[in-house]
């Protein structure tokens, strides 16, 4: 795992001091709230419905047990005993005070963590595949490049006040686990035919009110040239992105307005003047960073079959454990090892992605005991122990169960991605968390969930799409009509290699109708599926019509909904 | 091509003193010898220069239109005219004009219509990197203390702060960091510096 050198350490310490001074000036009134706002946002400090919320970066999702214990301590000392893991590999605290924030940042700095650029109109925390370095389907370990890009983007002066936020995702595996095409820039790392590390660049993706998938604008860019190319790209966006309308300020709108070819041409034009500059990464930098991402001291172990793993498991536990093996355990590059997903979506949970202080501390212990003290956070708001010996899976499972993080629902209907919604977020049109809870309550039969197989259900409390509802097979979006909370359903979204944006099926529903609507949609799938066909495959074959019909079959308030949504563009 | 957002008819009021921070030097305060003129009431031509302590910064669009006029040429030759760029001026489209301006203008400036509008950061970077502008570049407009560091790193070396900003606090902004992780106009990233 990356270890700060003196440069990183000095920079983060000095950043804490700078922010401490800004907070002091805010508190003594010499800095106005208007001027402070972008400054605090660039340090991940939001003002939410009830309190300040602090978003802490977990760069490319990788952290260690010591850091997790610090995150746990922070949740206890400064917050209300829990933290919320987000879709972009950050963790959020919902109840911090402005006065405490500099001290929290100082605590984080001691364990090589920070909140720099986790929000604001700048280059945000860079996300990557949670399984980087261990995934069986990986072409390239993305972590060294992610770390180099983290450094390059940290406090970048030219791009500190972009038209809008700017999100990078980096993928290096066959299966995209980063929703790369829904990022402002997606970087796909590959080895070319002669074995050199190169990048394909996708630009202009994003969700929000205008969901758009990124377009391929550059192929086989040598890794060393990433800083100059990205500088050119960001410079075009900084200069020509729209600033007159908040909703049209993301790069996706610029790329769409110009067309990907013209956008790419402009970037190339700018890049011509930069590509030979010493902004580019050097081998020295690569070596300095990459040495931290070597493999942990793996043992030479035999590859175990499921039968082997199940050998000493009692019959009473065999079914439950096998389920967990199937859903929550992923193949590894190294024989005898596996990666384990700890589900932060136990049924009856308060919020998807939440972990309590006690859970965080216990998970840190599990990481020490089973996975070289390292962890990952995932886009789906779960945690990963990446390097577990297959022979220890049973013991890990038993201990994880005690922490309520062993529910075998990864990838299933109750592995819900949800934003904090109206319970916390001041931008919300509707609540998300009670909807997630109601769906989990309706579908809490594991046998049934297992039979349904892979389905993603994502919930956002407003069109900003923090819950990624656009790319859920089933998406739920909170909408406001005359001060009432309504929910719009999208179907057919998907993340991964066939990333697609879901389609709105029609007028919205009341909160209490949602479990029935989901049930009807699911039943349609069950009734029409052919063997081994997943929900999304069935949807693609059948089209929206049967699902839509089922969704509205007993919509008691449909007429009212129709009336209310007349004239509203969806 | 300028919208109201980037070239307001009344410009942001700045302090009487400007903060100068030459590359390789130290930040200090000095009296401001340049009036920023928005060019909007140009029926009477340039402001009377004898009323201005030294010179006037004119908008690029005004310069484009008037730089062939005799009195403008005379004043420019006298070093009394500089040019300021609006946030949405595409300076690359006027590269030749700026090249020619190098012989007249003692300084250029880039305008921040709002402190959180970062377009002029790229303007300064382009002036330094691409257009080879070596003289002063001034940050004008809605210039606040907490944007100085970024400004200094992209290529600005003088700063006309908004008149409510505390100049004492402003002067202390430039030594907050002893390391950097990307190159800038002032310095190479620390690692590159160390390995050279
Ligand atoms: C209460 C705190 C939050 C606030 C105020 C907030 C604010 C926003 C806003 C305004 C947008 C829209 C951006 C746009 O369309 O340009 C957005 C998008 C997004 N947020 Fe949040 N958010 C919050 C919490 C979260 C959480 C908890 C997550 C993760 C679970 C998250 C992840 C995202 C993602 C992934 C997007 C979509 C991005 C895209 O279009 O690229 N946010 N958020
Ligand atoms: S989607 Fe809307 S309600 Fe949910 S967190 Fe984002 S901004 Fe808030």
Nearest CA to ligand 1 atom 21: A466
d(C-alpha B14, C-alpha B160), whole Å: 6
Tracing tokens 């008819």 back to the chain, one arrives at B9
Residues A78 and A45: beta-carbon distance below 8 Å: no
Q: What is the A419 CA–ligand 1 centroid distance (Å)?
A: 8
Answer whether B117 touches A (CB < 8 Å). Answer: yes
d(C-alpha A114, C-alpha A254), whole Å: 31
Coil, strand or helix at A99: coil
Q: What is the pLDDT of residue A561?
A: 52
> Residue A263's beta-bridge partner residues?
none
Residues A470 and A462: beta-carbon distance below 8 Å: no
From A7, A30, A35, residue closest to B179, measured CB to CB: A7
Find which of A32, A166, A239, A241 to mutate to test the B interface (most B CBs within 10 Å of its CB). A239
Tracing tokens 């919300």 back to the chain, one arrives at A428
Q: What is the pLDDT of residue A350?
A: 80
Q: Do A243 and B5 touch (CB under 8 A)?
A: yes
Cβ neighbours, 10 Å, residue A539: 27
Q: How far is CA A224 from CA A81, A89, A129, in A?
A: 43, 25, 21
Distance from the first to the final alpha carbon of chain A: 45
d(C-alpha A248, C-alpha A68), whole Å: 38
- Give mean pLDDT, residues A189-213: 96
For the beta sheet containing B81-85, the strands, ordered from the edge strand earlier in sequence to the opposite edge, are B28-31, B17-20, B158-159, B136-141, B107-112, B81-85, B55-59, B34-36
User: DSSP per residue over A22-82, as a string?
Assistant: HHHHHHTTSS-HHHHHHHHHTTTEEE-SSSEEEEEE-GGGEEEHHHHHHHHHHHHHTSSSE
Coil, strand or helix at B196: coil
Q: What is the pLDDT of residue A208?
A: 93
Closest chain A CA to residue B123: A239
Q: What is the A119 CA–ligand 1 centroid distance (Å)?
A: 9
**Nearest Cα to A513, choosing from A538, A531, A488, A482?**
A488
Q: What percent of chain A has pLDDT over 90?
A: 95
d(C-alpha A267, C-alpha A270), whole Å: 5
Give per-10-residue mean pLDDT for chain B (196 aa).
47 94 97 90 66 82 93 91 97 97 97 97 98 98 98 98 97 97 96 76
d(C-alpha A247, C-alpha A245), whole Å: 5
pLDDT of residue A200 exceeding 80, the answer is yes
- Give mean pLDDT, residues A344-366: 94
Answer whether A238 touches B (CB < 8 Å). Answer: yes
d(C-alpha A372, C-alpha A102), whole Å: 31
* Cβ-proximal residues to A235 (8 Å cutoff; 6+ apart), any chain: A158, A270, B122, B125, B126
A39 CA: distance to closest CA in chain B (Å): 8
**Nearest Cα to B23, choosing from B184, B170, B194, B196?**
B184
User: Of A213, A381, A419, which is best to mutate to test ligand 1, by the most ligand atoms within 8 angstroms of its C-beta?
Assistant: A419
d(C-alpha A327, C-alpha A409), whole Å: 7
> Residue A338's beta-bridge partner residues?
A331, A388
pLDDT of residue A182 exceeding 80, the answer is yes
Residues 160-189 on B with a CB inside 8 Å of A are: 166, 169, 176-184, 188-189
Which 8-state DSSP code applies to residue A186? E
Q: What is the A464 CA–ligand 1 centroid distance (Å)?
A: 6
> Residue A171's beta-bridge partner residues?
A188
> Residue A490's beta-bridge partner residues?
A475, A504
Q: What is the A427 CA–ligand 2 centroid distance (Å)?
A: 6
- Give mean pLDDT, residues A435-457: 96
Q: What is the pLDDT of residue B47?
A: 76
Reported as a single tens digit per residue, the pLDDT across A488-509 is: 999 999 999 999 999 999 999 9
Q: How far is CA A19 from CA A44, A77, B154, B178, in A?
A: 11, 20, 21, 16
Residues A518 and A532: beta-carbon distance below 8 Å: no
């Amino acid at each position: 795992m990356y270890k700060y050198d003196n440069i990183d350490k000095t920079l983060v310490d000095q950043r804490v001091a700078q922010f401490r001074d800004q907070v002091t000036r805010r508190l003594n009134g010499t800095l106005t709230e208007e001027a402070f706002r972008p400054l605090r946002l660039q340090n991940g400090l939001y003002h939410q419905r009830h309190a300040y919320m602090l978003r802490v970066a977990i760069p490319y999702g990788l952290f260690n047990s010591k850091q997790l214990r610090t995150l746990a301590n922070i949740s206890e000392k400064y917050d209300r005993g829990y933290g919320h893991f987000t879709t972009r590999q950050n963790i959020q605290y919902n109840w911090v005070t402005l006065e405490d924030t500099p001290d929290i940042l100082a605590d984080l700095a001691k364990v090589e963590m920070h909140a720099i650029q986790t929000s604001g109109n700048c280059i945000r925390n860079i996300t990557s595949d949670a399984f980087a370095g261990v995934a069986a389907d990986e072409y390239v370990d993305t972590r060294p490049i992610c770390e180099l890009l983290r450094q390059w983007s940290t406090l970048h002066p030219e791009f500190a006040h972009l038209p809008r936020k700017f999100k990078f995702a980096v993928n290096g595996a066959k299966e995209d686990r980063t929703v790369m095409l829904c990022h402002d820039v997606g970087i796909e790392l590959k080895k070319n035919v002669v074995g050199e590390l190169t990048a394909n660049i996708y630009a202009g993706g994003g969700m929000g009110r205008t969901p758009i998938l990124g377009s391929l604008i550059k192929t086989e860019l040598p890794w060393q040239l990433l800083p100059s190319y990205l500088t050119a790209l960001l410079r075009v966006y900084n200069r020509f992105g729209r600033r007159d309308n908040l909703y049209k300020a993301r790069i996706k709108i610029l790329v769409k307005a110009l067309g990907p070819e013209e956008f790419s041409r402009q970037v190339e034009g700018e890049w011509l003047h930069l590509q030979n500059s010493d902004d580019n990464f050097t081998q020295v930098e690569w070596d300095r960073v990459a040495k931290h991402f070597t493999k942990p001291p793996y043992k030479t172990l035999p590859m175990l079959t499921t039968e082997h793993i199940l050998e000493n498991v009692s019959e009473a536990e065999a079914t439950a454990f096998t389920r967990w093996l199937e859903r929550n355990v992923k193949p590894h590059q190294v024989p005898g090892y596996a990666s384990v997903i700890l589900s932060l979506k136990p049924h009856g949970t308060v919020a998807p992605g939440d972990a309590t202080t006690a859970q965080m501390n216990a998970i840190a212990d599990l990481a020490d005991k089973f996975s070289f003290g390292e962890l990952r956070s995932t886009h789906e708001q779960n945690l990963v122990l990446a390097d577990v010996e297959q022979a220890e899976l049973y013991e890990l499972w038993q201990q994880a169960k005690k922490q309520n993080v062993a529910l075998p629902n990864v990838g299933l209907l109750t592995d819900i991605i949800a934003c904090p919604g109206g319970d916390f977020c001041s931008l919300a049109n509707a609540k998300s968390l009670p909807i997630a809870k109601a769906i989990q309550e309706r579908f809490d039969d594991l046998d049934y969930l297992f039979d349904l197989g892979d389905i993603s259900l994502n919930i956002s409390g407003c069109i900003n799409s923090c819950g990624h509802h656009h790319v859920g097979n089933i998406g739920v979006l909170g909408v406001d009509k005359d001060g009432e909370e309504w929910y719009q359903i999208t179907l057919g979204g998907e993340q991964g290699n066939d990333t697609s944006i879901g389609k709105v099926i029609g007028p919205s529903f009341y909160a209490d109708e949602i479990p029935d609507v989901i049930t009807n949609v699911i039943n349609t799938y069950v009734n029409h599926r052919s063997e081994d066909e997943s929900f999304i495959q069935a949807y693609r074959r059948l089209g929206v019509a049967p699902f839509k019909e089922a969704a509205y079959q007993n919509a008691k308030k449909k007429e009212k909904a129709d009336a209310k949504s007349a004239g509203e563009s969806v | 091509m300028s919208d109201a957002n980037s070239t307001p008819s009344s410009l942001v009021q700045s302090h009487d003193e400007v903060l100068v921070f030459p590359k390789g030097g130290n930040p200090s305060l000095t009296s401001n010898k340049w009036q920023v003129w928005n060019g909007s009431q140009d029926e009477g031509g340039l402001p009377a220069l004898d009323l201005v302590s030294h010179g006037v910064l004119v908008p690029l669009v005004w310069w484009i239109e008037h730089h062939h006029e005799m009195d403008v040429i005379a004043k420019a030759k006298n070093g009394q005219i500089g040019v300021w760029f609006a946030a949405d001026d595409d300076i690359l489209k006027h590269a030749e004009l700026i090249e020619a301006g190098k012989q007249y203008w003692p300084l250029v400036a880039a305008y921040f219509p709002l402190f959180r509008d970062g377009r002029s950061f790229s303007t300064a970077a382009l002036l330094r990197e691409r257009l080879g502008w070596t003289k002063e570049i001034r940050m004008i407009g809605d210039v606040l203390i907490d944007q100085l560091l970024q400004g200094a790193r992209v290529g600005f070396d003088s700063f006309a702060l908004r008149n409510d900003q505390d100049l004492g606090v402003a002067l202390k902004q430039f030594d907050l960091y002893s390391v950097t992780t990307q190159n800038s106009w002032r310095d190479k990233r620390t690692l590159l510096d160390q390995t050279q």
